[in-house]
Structure formats: structure tokens, C-alpha cells
């Protein structure tokens, strides 16, 4: 994710004090305390994971959100895909229904927690991993760390591991800076956020633990990128890169340079595998899964259809799930 007002996920960044919201005081928000999925212990804290679809529908799709994001934004897409796939979204530590997690909040730490979460949720490989924005870091890292478990990777307007070299920081609250600015944010939901979840999402995103999670992940953004690079090349798995088609920067000289750089980095992501597809989402901003969810569904199909026929027959347990596999 690019650190600017267009790409700081669902937040407008402010260095202010803000009072925590007493959610239980609002009767309409009682459901906030009833997570749609399960809370699983992964050490000293719990992570929330929400899986839909038949356990026998393989491969399992695992989703990771961008900075500040959490599982609720994927709910409609999951419902749409659950008849054919087992599809799981989860909340990284501090977000949504998950507890805050231990430091440092880096990709390496996040993936270790995700791996434990998947094991304790009885989720078996093979996996198709799907990462949006900063979530792309985590899914690239997982794919490199556990190549034998991953059969496909989908990156949705993903961060590039070296983008910190090309885009200015907007988060100056770094450990070595000598400052302890309090990173507080006011949630700002994208236009196509599911209406029925907006109120709950707003309050969960205003929670202190969510704001802290955003702050600490942001502070370690550059470190996380280096961790992704440290694992070397991605294996030659099916890869789909979805890139926003709408502008994020103004039509100025600087804006044009930033747009060009972003597209160049997206092209580099698409070259990580020889079995890749690069799709431009012409009518989407950064949140392609909300603006054009059909493209995400098509991306999963692109990955699945590249799997060997024998493997497809083995991993799809029922006749209904095998539809559309052609000669397979």
C-alpha cells in the first residue's frame, strides 16, 4: 500500500487524542461482540478467523487484508464463493475481533501467527493465498516460506517489497526518531463497503487496539518489505496480480510520476512467476475486491484452471465443485 491519503486504507491519519468508543452502550451494536467466525488461541492472544464453504472444497482460499482492514470487508465475496471453495478471512492481531499481538508487528511475526492459526483451525493445504495491499507482503512471505503448501497466489493492488524506496513515508513515529507521537485515526469507509456492515466496521476500526495495530504495522512497513525479499524468489506457481485502474494522485508532474512508478512496481510483481496474469481493474480504486469483486472471483478461477487435472480431481470432493473444469 502506498502511504498517502488515497492509500492509507480506511483511515484519515491524525496525530490527535481520541476517546475509545463504548460499544456495549449501543443496543444496535451488540452483534459486535459476537464474531461471525471463531477466536483461536495462537500463543498468548486470540485471532479471529471466519471460514465459509464445505470443508471438502479444496483448495482452501486464505485472505489477508490491507493496513487497517479486517475480515468484514470480505464477507459478501466469501458468501458468493463459498458454494465452490472453502474460503477464510481473518483479522490480524488488534484488528476486528482479534486480540492485540506481541511485538514486533512485522510480516515475519504475522505469518508465524497465521501459520499457527491455520493449523489450529484444522485448515489443510493446498492453499490459494489472496493478499490486498499490505496483506500482499504477508501472502508473498507465506508462499516463499511454505512453497509445498501453496498452489496459487493472488495480489490485489498489493504493496511491493521495495516500494519504501520509491514513496515517501507519512508515518514518522519510528522507534529511532525520539518521538512518541500518538497515531490516532478516524475511520473512513470506502464507497462500496457493504452497507449492512458499515456501522459495526466503523466502531471496530475506531477501537484503540485497531488504531495501535495500524500504527505498529506502519512503523515496521519497510522492515516487512525487507523480510519478504530475504526469502528469495517466489516458486513458479500460478500468480494473478490485480491492479487498480483509477488514479490515486492528482494530474500533476509529481502525480504522474507516482502513478507511473506504482504501475511499474505492479508489473514487477507480475513477473515473479512465469505462470502469471496481470489484470487491470479499469473501474476500481485501491479496493478492487469492493469495487469489482467479480475480478477477484475470476482471478481464483485463473489459478484453479492452471492446476494439473489430476490434482484438480483429487482436491475437489464433489461433482458440483468439479463443474467448469473442462476436460478435467
Residues 6+ apart with CB under 8 A from 93: 45, 47, 99, 100, 101, 102, 105, 110, 113, 213
- pLDDT at residue 261, as a whole number: 95
Whole-angstrom CA distances from 52 to 101, 130, 147 are 25, 15, 24
Q: Which domains does the chain have, with CATH numbers?
A: 11-322 (3.40.50.1820)
Whole-angstrom CA distances from 158 to 185, 194, 247 are 22, 21, 15
- pLDDT at residue 177, as a whole number: 40
Burial class of residue 61 (count of CB atoms within 10 Å of its CB; 0-12, 13-18, 19+): buried
For the chain, 328 residues long, give each residue's pLDDT as a single digit of tens. 443 444 443 333 322 222 233 334 455 455 557 999 999 999 999 999 999 998 788 899 999 999 999 999 999 999 999 999 999 999 999 999 999 999 999 999 999 999 999 999 999 999 999 999 999 999 999 999 999 999 999 999 999 999 989 886 544 344 444 434 344 457 789 889 999 999 999 999 999 999 999 999 999 999 999 999 999 999 999 999 999 999 999 999 999 999 999 999 999 999 999 999 999 999 999 999 999 999 999 999 999 999 987 556 555 555 455 555 555 5
Cα 52–chain centre separation: 17
Predicted structure pTM score: 0.86
Whole-angstrom CA distances from 220 to 22, 43, 70, 155, 215 are 29, 21, 19, 20, 9
How many Å apart are CA 20 and CA 18, to the nearest integer? 6
How many Å apart are CA 221 and CA 41, to the nearest integer? 25
- pLDDT at residue 323, as a whole number: 54
* Helical packing angle, 221-230 and 107-120, nearest 10°: 70
How many Å apart are CA 136 and CA 130, to the nearest integer? 7
Amino acid at each position: 500500500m502506498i502511504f498517502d491519503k488515497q492509500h492509507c486504507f480506511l483511515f484519515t491519519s491524525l496525530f490527535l487524542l481520541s476517546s475509545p468508543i463504548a460499544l456495549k452502550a449501543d443496543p444496535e451494536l451488540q452483534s459486535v461482540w459476537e464474531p461471525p467466525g471463531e477466536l483461536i488461541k495462537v500463543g498468548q492472544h486470540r485471532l479471529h478467523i471466519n471460514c465459509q464453504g464445505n470443508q471438502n472444497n479444496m483448495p482452501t482460499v486464505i485472505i489477508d487484508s490491507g493496513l487497517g482492514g479486517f475480515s468484514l470487508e470480505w464477507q459478501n465475496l466469501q458468501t458468493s464463493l463459498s458454494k465452490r471453495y472453502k474460503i477464510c478471512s481473518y483479522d490480524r492481531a488488534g484488528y476486528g475481533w482479534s486480540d492485540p499481538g506481541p511485538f514486533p508487528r512485522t510480516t515475519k511475526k504475522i505469518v508465524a501467527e497465521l501459520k499457527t492459526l491455520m493449523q489450529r483451525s484444522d485448515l489443510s493445504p493446498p492453499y490459494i493465498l489472496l493478499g490486498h495491499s499490505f496483506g500482499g507482503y504477508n501472502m508473498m512471505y507465506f508462499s516463499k516460506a511454505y512453497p509445498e503448501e501453496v498452489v496459487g497466489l493472488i495480489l490485489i493492488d498489493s504493496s511491493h517489497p521495495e516500494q519504501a524506496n520509491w514513496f515517501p513515508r507519512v508515518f514518522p513515529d519510528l522507534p529511532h526518531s525520539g518521538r512518541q507521537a500518538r497515531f490516532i485515526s478516524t475511520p473512513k469507509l470506502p464507497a462500496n463497503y457493504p452497507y449492512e456492515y458499515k456501522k459495526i466496521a466503523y466502531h471496530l476500526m475506531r477501537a484503540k487496539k485497531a488504531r495501535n495495530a495500524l500504527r505498529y504495522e506502519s512503523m515496521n512497513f519497510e522492515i516487512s518489505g525487507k523480510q519478504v525479499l530475504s526469502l528469495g524468489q517466489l516458486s513458479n506457481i500460478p500468480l494473478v496480480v490485480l491492479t487498480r485502474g483509477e488514479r490515486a494522485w492528482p494530474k500533476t508532474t509529481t502525480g504522474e510520476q507516482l502513478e507511473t512508478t506504482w504501475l511499474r512496481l505492479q508489473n514487477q510483481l507480475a513477473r515473479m512467476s512465469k505462470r502469471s496474469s496481470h489484470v487491470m481493474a479499469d473501474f476500481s480504486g485501491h479496493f478492487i475486491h469492493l469495487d469489482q469483486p467479480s475480478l477477484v472471483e475470476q482471478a481464483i478461477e485463473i489459478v484453479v484452471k492452471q492446476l494439473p487435472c489430476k490434482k484438480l480431481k483429487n482436491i475437489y470432493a464433489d461433482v458440483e465443485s468439479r463443474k467448469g473444469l473442462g476436460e478435467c
